[in-house]
Structures are given as C-alpha cells and as structure tokens.
Amino acid sequence: MSGLSEPTGAAAWRDEPGWLRALADPRLFAAACAWLIVLVVLGTLAQRELGLYLAQERYFTAWFLWCGPLPLPGGRLTLTLSGLSLLAVLFTRRSAGSPGLFLLHAGTLLLLAGCLVGSALRQEGSLALREGGRGAEMRSWLHHELAVRVEGQGRERLLAIGEGLLRPGAVLAHPDLPLALTVVEVQATPAPAPLAPSWPWPPIRCPS
C-alpha cells in the first residue's frame, strides 16, 4: 500500500495559507515594480522644480505620495511591499521545489536589504575641490552648525558649534571665546511653500 504524497503544483499552492498566497502572488510584485517605474519618472521630472533633495523626500523616501486628498503609495511603501512579496516566496512550496527560483528571489531580496542599510547609514554632502586639490571636509545638506569668527592677537579663528549643542538653555563656552553664549531659542528652517496645484506631476508649460 502506497503512502500519502505531498501535494504538488496547483494543489500545493491552494494548500498554503491565504496570507502567504496573497503576499507571494507574482502580480503583487509586478504591480509594485510598475509603480516604481512611475515614481522614478515623476520624481526625475519633479527635480526640475523641487530640486534633488525635496524630490527624493516627496517621491522616493516617503511612505505616501499625496495627490490632493488622495494618498498613493510612496517609494518606501512600494519597496516594503516588494520586499515582503519576495520574502513570502521563499517560504512557499514553489520555492522549496525550485532552487533557481529560491536563489533568484533571495538575491533580489539581498539587494533590497543592502539599499535599506545604505539609506539608513549613509551621509550625504558635497566636497568642493579645485583642480589637483585635496580636501577633508564635507558640507552636509541636512545638518547645520553655528560658526563664530573670533579675531584678536593678530590672528583670526573660526569656531564651529554643531547643531546637537544648540538646545534652548544650553550654555556654549570655549577658551577662544571672550564670553559665554546662552541659547535662547532655536528656530527650524521654514518648509518651502507647496506648489500650486498640489499634484505630483510638475507644471507643463505650453509653447507660446
């Protein structure tokens, strides 16, 4: 008498939990990839009006892209769904029975994980160099400092105070400073005014 065999093919697919089938559905991953292409095109075009940093914040690193009152998936949410879909495939019987399919999805998931770690740990800035010159200081696009120029004794010094020390009530003292500075208030940089109309596509100028 022969024993019972494991379900294969469509039967194995139907035997898996419903949430796993929904996440591992290839149509979900294909839709996420298609929407990522749309976000890349929109974000690239928007850089002309918003600049590089604001376009990244609005289209690629945001969870949602707001088109008026309508929220659409942003780049971070879309990549998260793509990663969950790839991860779910690794736990399906289709992947267990096909080493090539397992390696393909695991490799793509590893690339996404590398992008996630890089975006969390990288530091962005600019370094101005003349031809043939060298430099060891980077100017950050996101972090700021308070620079105080001190003149005296025939020389000039520049003291830089990081934004981490600029807290209300903090006393800033240094041997090169003739007095102590007390932080009374810290005002954030005002956010840029939204474009009108509030729509992700940049305004189209018709030729005259």
Average pLDDT over residues 9-33: 77
| Whole-number Cα distances in Å, 162 to 99, 165, 184 | 52, 6, 16
Lowest mean pLDDT among 67-71, 115-119, 182-186: 115-119
Residue 14: the pLDDT is 55
Kindly give the interhelix angle for 26-50 and 75-89, rounded to the nearest 10 degrees.
160
Confidence of residue 202 (pLDDT cuts 50, 70, 90): very low
Segment 32-53, tens digit of pLDDT: 999 999 999 999 999 888 888 8
Segment 107-145, tens digit of pLDDT: 888 988 888 888 778 777 778 888 888 877 777 767 777
Q: Where are the beta strands (DSSP E) in 68-198?
A: 70-73, 125-126, 139-140, 145-152, 155-162, 171-172, 181-182
Judged against a pLDDT cut of 70, whether residue 13 lies above it is answered with no
For residue 73, cis peptide bond before it (omega within 30 degrees of 0): no
Distance from C-alpha of 73 to C-alpha of 38, rounded to nearest angstrom: 11
Residue 137: the pLDDT is 74
**Site of tokens 């609005």:** 58
pTM here is 0.58
Residue 167, C-beta contacts closer than 8 angstroms, at least 6 positions apart: 183, 186
* 65 touches 71 (CB < 8 A): yes
| Whole-number Cα distances in Å, 96 to 84, 126, 204 | 17, 47, 50
Angle at 134 between CA 145 and CA 56, to 5 degrees: 50
Judged against a pLDDT cut of 50, whether residue 74 lies above it is answered with yes
Residue 119: the pLDDT is 75
* 75 touches 36 (CB < 8 A): yes
Average pLDDT over residues 59-65: 89
Segment 140-180, tens digit of pLDDT: 767 777 888 888 777 778 888 888 888 888 888 888 788 88
Q: Provide the greatest CA pair distance for the chain.
A: 102
